[in-house]
């Protein structure tokens, strides 16, 4: 049974995370609250406050301070459970660096592993013949954003745009370290002499680009939500960016509206009545239906 898509969450929805509680909640140090920073503890103001409060208490109460702290906090400090264990990322790992994650090689290994896409495929809903990946955020220019563990964001082109424009011959991506802005062009899709700019769903810095697309751009069309991702971003204003994107039921409704609009455009331009065959739209609408104008499609939908 498929998971029912929900409305946009107030905190970032992390893709394929089993739990969404703050690591300090998982440790029993504070009351249950949801993680507000996609488990990017190193850049979390709340995490810094909790640690600062503990250090202040430790200094003011002297060497016997642990005896005056709550039992669960004493247990946490004694056992030093790794933040990746508390978040649910790994099943068991104790901290060997006193929560100095910056100098921890294990922490770096987990962070490096986050550069790779999840091996588990996205779960999709079918809307008017187009696939909509669950727990993805969508820009109205038909790019998607997937928030991953540690606050990074993987982005790509959604199924609607890929089916609309058809397989690309080449996808031009920005260099590593480039700053990109939400709603501004970040990639160029080329098909023959035609080109279309894709707009970024978030603000941030490019950490990685999909190496498979360099020689096989058509992968983005064949598998837009998994192997066809474009790049990985370190967002600069994650929650602010997500507020401007569609999620859950609102993204499903928007895809339906876009499909209806496309049907009207196709019928008016070509005289054809566009319909999904067997519940799925053709993979190359532009290449299949004669008379469609590339530039008009790009202007209206991207």
Tell me the C-alpha distance between 125 and 180, whole Å. 29
Closest CA to 246 of 236, 235, 258: 258
Q: What percent of the chain has pLDDT over 90?
A: 52
Q: Which residues pair with 191 in a beta bridge?
A: 194
pLDDT higher than 80, residue 8? no
Tell me the C-alpha distance between 255 and 2, whole Å. 19
pLDDT at 225: 96
pLDDT higher than 60, residue 165? yes
- pTM of the predicted model over 0.85: no
Q: End-to-end alpha-carbon separation of the chain, Å?
A: 33
Q: Which residues pair with 29 in a beta bridge?
A: none
pLDDT at 76: 53
pLDDT higher than 70, residue 6? no
Q: What are the Cα distances from residue 178, in Å, to 155, 212, 232, 240, 269?
A: 15, 20, 11, 20, 39
Average pLDDT over residues 97-106: 69
Sorted by where each begins, the domain ranges of the chain are 23-113, 141-245, 249-301
> Which of the four pLDDT bands, split at 50, 70 and 90, describes residue 155?
very high
DSSP-derived secondary structure letter, 117: P
Give the model confidence (pLDDT) of 111-137 as tens digits.
666 666 666 789 999 999 999 999 999
pLDDT at 79: 65
> Which of the four pLDDT bands, split at 50, 70 and 90, describes residue 75?
very low
Closest CA to 173 of 185, 158, 161: 185
Selected from 2.30.30.30, 3.40.50.360, 2.60.40.10, 2.40.50.100, the CATH number assigned to the domain covering 141-245 reads 2.40.50.100
pLDDT at 132: 97
Tell me the C-alpha distance between 255 and 188, whole Å. 22
Q: What H or E segment, with its residue span, contains residue 77?
A: helix 71-79
pLDDT at 294: 96
Q: How many residues does the chain have?
A: 302
Tell me the C-alpha distance between 298 and 188, whole Å. 12
pLDDT at 235: 95
Highest-pLDDT range among 29-33, 271-275, 285-289? 285-289
């Amino acid at each position: 049974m498929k998971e029912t898509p929900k409305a946009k969450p107030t905190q970032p929805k992390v893709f394929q995370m089993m739990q969404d509680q703050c690591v300090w909640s998982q440790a029993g140090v504070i009351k249950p609250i949801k993680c507000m920073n996609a488990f990017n503890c190193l850049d979390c103001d709340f995490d810094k406050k909790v640690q600062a409060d503990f250090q202040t208490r430790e200094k003011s109460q002297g060497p016997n301070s642990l005896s005056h702290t709550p039992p669960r906090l004493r247990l946490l400090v004694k056992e030093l459970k790794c933040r990746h264990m508390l978040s649910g990322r790994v099943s068991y790992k104790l901290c060997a660096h006193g929560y100095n994650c910056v100098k921890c090689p294990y922490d770096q290994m987990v962070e490096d592993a986050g550069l790779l896409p999840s091996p588990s495929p996205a779960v999709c809903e079918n809307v008017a013949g187009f696939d909509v990946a669950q727990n993805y955020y969508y820009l109205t220019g038909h790019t998607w954003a997937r928030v991953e563990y540690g606050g990074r964001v993987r982005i790509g082109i959604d199924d609607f745009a890929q089916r609309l424009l058809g397989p690309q011959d080449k996808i031009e991506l920005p260099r590593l370290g480039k700053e990109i802005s939400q709603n501004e062009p970040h990639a160029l899709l080329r098909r023959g002499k035609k080109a279309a700019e894709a707009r970024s769903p978030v603000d941030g810095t490019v950490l990685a680009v999909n190496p498979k697309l360099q020689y096989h751009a058509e992968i983005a069309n064949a598998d837009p939500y998994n192997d066809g991702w474009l790049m990985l971003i370190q967002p600069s204003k994650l929650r602010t960016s997500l507020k401007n994107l569609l999620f859950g039921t609102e993204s499903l409704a928007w895809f339906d509206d876009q499909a209806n609009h496309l049907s009207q455009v196709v019928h008016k331009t070509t005289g054809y009545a566009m319909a999904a065959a067997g519940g799925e739209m053709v993979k190359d609408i532009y290449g299949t239906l004669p008379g469609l104008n590339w530039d008009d499609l790009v202007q209206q939908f991207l």
